[in-house]
């Protein structure tokens, strides 16, 4: 009796049997599954990490099965793509549902203890890192840019995170702490301001921890500046302490000269802290920060009537050479008082406020000096050049 022969499968039949010759897109996505686990609130991070390990193992075994039928280039390419799909790195979305900067901002605004927020941010950064490890685990160099983009977004390098950070605004918070009628002691206001600045540093650290990419670094600096409060909204919406006005109020009451001097000195110190907070960022607009300082000293002498173009980080406006606009060409400095609002039709009357000294590095790049006074040197940015539409008090 002759034994039956074992059928021999041809390579294409074997690959078909394995499934490698007719691969369908993977229904598994470890990156998305892990992210969903972290954000569900149903599992601990340890449980999510365990699920993630199982998912990666499933993809690895699937890859081994897929490639066991041979090493032809077409099969290897198809299996590699399927493996990346399984891991979640193939054409991965650059948008993550996790945003460490936004989460940290929410934590700070909730009034939670700063150490609790710091701990939560550290956990968030770890989650982003682990998901990035999953995304990159195929070893396929082609998925690296997409994984990196999602990693940065997870950490908070986004315009949405920057917008969220504006709700912190250390400058406005510190000023409010010293508002008329406030019963908060100065040392407590200083402590709260230090905590706020520390939070902003943590946001910057979280945002920038994934990359040294120039565009990402710029976005993270935007988050930092928004948190500190030295963006355009700080200039337009800023409610200054107004030391000069407070002194008048003090002198009009039944207060001694010594008491008014004491209050004035305290107010001046608060303005100095405001300036220091504004300049904490290495990318702060020094002229804008100095403007805030002068508003703090005397709100009646310095007005903001439009947003400075240099403080619009997401908008790029072509520069216009001032010498090409006949109606605004200035051949010599024009002496103006600072006792009123100055509108420049979209440009911005800004510092450096240096008590009449010559132009310094604080001047905005490409700016053209059009006005000086005994109080300040005023510059108008060259983004928009139109005639002055609102004259200062006493001028025609």
Which domain does 35 fall in, by range? Answer: 11-87
What pLDDT score does 305 carry? Answer: 52
Report yes or no on 36 lying in a domain: yes
What pLDDT score does 82 carry? Answer: 87
Answer whether 146's CB lies under 8 Å from 206's CB.
no
Residues 62 and 172 in one domain: no
Residues 272 and 336 in one domain: no
Please name the residues in contact with 73: beta carbons below 8 A apart, sequence gap of 6 or more.
none
**Domains in the chain: how many in total?**
3
Residues 230 and 203 in one domain: yes
Report yes or no on 376 lying in a domain: yes
What pLDDT score does 87 carry? Answer: 94
What pLDDT score does 265 carry? Answer: 94
What pLDDT score does 12 carry? Answer: 60
What pLDDT score does 6 carry? Answer: 52
3-state secondary structure the chain: CCCCCCCCCCHHHHHHHHCCCCCCCCCCCHHHHHHHHHHHCCCCHHHHHHHHHHHHHHHHHHHHHHHCCCCCHHHHHHHHHHHHHHHCCCCCCCCCCCCHHHHHHHHHHCCCCHHHHHHHHHHHHHHHHHHHHHHHCCCCHHHHHHHHHHHHHHHCCCHHHHHHHCCCCHHHHHHHHCCCCCCCCHHHHHHHHHHHHHHHHHHHHHHHCCCCCHHHHHHHHHHHHHHHCCCHHHHHHCCCCCHHHHHHHHHHCCCCHHHHHHHHHHHHHHHHHHHHHHCCCCCCCHHHHHHHHHHHHCCCCCCCCCCCHHHCCCCCCCCCCHHHCHHHCCCCCEECCCCCCCECECECEECCCCCCCCCCCCCCCCCEEEEECCCCEEEECCCCCCCCCECCCCCC
Residues 278 and 152 in one domain: yes
pTM of the predicted protein model: 0.68
pLDDT (tens place) for every residue of the chain, 396 residues total: 555 555 444 446 545 555 555 667 888 999 999 999 999 999 999 999 999 999 999 999 988 888 876 667 777 888 888 899 999 999 899 999 999 999 999 999 998 877 889 899 999 999 999 999 999 998 889 999 999 999 999 999 988 999 999 999 999 999 999 888 888 888 999 999 999 999 999 999 999 887 667 778 889 999 999 999 886 555 666 788 999 999 999 999 889 999 999 999 999 999 999 999 999 998 888 888 888 888 899 988 766 555 454 444 333 333 333 333 333 333 332 222 222 222 222 223 333 333 322 222 333 232 222 222 223 333 333 222 222 233 334 444
Report yes or no on 94 lying in a domain: no
What pLDDT score does 352 carry? Answer: 32
Report yes or no on 293 lying in a domain: yes
Cα–Cα distance, 377 to 354 (Å, whole number): 7
Residues 294 and 322 in one domain: no
Residues 107 and 20 in one domain: no
Of 64, 87, 110, the residue at which a domain comes to its end is 87
Of 269, 300, 331, the residue at which a domain comes to its end is 300
Residues 226 and 275 in one domain: yes
CA angle 29-33-34, nearest 5°?
120
What pLDDT score does 267 carry? Answer: 93
What pLDDT score does 320 carry? Answer: 35
Residues 112 and 62 in one domain: no
Residues 105 and 66 in one domain: no
Report yes or no on 2 lying in a domain: no
Residues 268 and 392 in one domain: no
Of 273, 300, 327, the residue at which a domain comes to its end is 300
Report yes or no on 153 lying in a domain: yes
Report yes or no on 6 lying in a domain: no
Report yes or no on 277 lying in a domain: yes
- Categorise residue 358: left if φ over 0, alpha if ψ from -120 to 50, beta otherwise: beta
Residues 343 and 290 in one domain: no
Residues 104 and 81 in one domain: no
């Amino acid at each position: 009796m002759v034994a039956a022969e074992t059928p021999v499968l041809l390579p294409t039949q074997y690959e078909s049997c394995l499934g490698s010759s007719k691969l369908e897109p993977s229904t598994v996505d470890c990156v998305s599954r892990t992210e969903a686990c972290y954000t569900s609130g149903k599992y601990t991070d340890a449980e999510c990490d365990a699920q993630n390990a199982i998912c990666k193992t499933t993809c690895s075994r699937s890859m081994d099965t897929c490639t066991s039928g041979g090493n032809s280039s077409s099969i290897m390419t198809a299996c590699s793509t399927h493996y990346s799909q399984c891991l979640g790195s193939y054409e991965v979305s650059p948008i993550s549902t996790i945003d460490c900067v936004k989460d940290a901002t929410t934590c700070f605004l909730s009034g939670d203890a700063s150490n609790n927020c710091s701990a939560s941010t550290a956990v968030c950064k770890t989650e982003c890192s682990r998901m990035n490890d999953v995304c990159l685990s195929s070893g396929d160099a082609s998925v690296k840019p997409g994984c990196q983009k999602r990693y940065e977004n997870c950490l908070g390098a986004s315009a949405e995170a920057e917008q969220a950070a504006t709700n912190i605004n250390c400058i406005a918070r510190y000023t409010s702490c010293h508002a008329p009628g406030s019963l908060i002691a100065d040392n407590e206001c200083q402590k709260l301001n230090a905590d706020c600045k520390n939070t902003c540093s943590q946001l910057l650290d979280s945002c920038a921890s994934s990359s040294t990419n120039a565009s990402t670094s710029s976005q993270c600096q935007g988050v930092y500046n928004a948190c500190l409060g030295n963006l355009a909204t700080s200039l337009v919406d800023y409610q200054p302490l107004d030391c000069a006005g407070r002194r008048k109020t003090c002198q009009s009451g039944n207060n001694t000269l010594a008491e008014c001097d004491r209050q004035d000195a305290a107010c001046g110190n608060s303005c100095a802290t405001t300036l220091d907070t504004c300049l904490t960022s290495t990318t702060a607009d020094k002229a804008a920060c100095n403007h805030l300082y002068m508003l703090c000293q005397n709100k009646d002498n310095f007005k903001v009537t439009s947003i400075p173009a240099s403080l619009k980080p997401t908008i790029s406006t072509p520069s216009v050479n001032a010498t090409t606009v006949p109606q605004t060409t200035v051949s010599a400095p024009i002496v103006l008082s600072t006792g009123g609002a100055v509108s420049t039709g979209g440009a911005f009357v800004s510092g450096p406020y240096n008590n009449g000294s010559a132009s310094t590095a604080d001047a905005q790049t490409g700016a053209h000096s059009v006005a000086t006074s005994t109080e300040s040197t005023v510059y108008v940015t060259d983004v928009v050049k139109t005639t002055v539409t609102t004259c200062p008090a006493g001028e025609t």
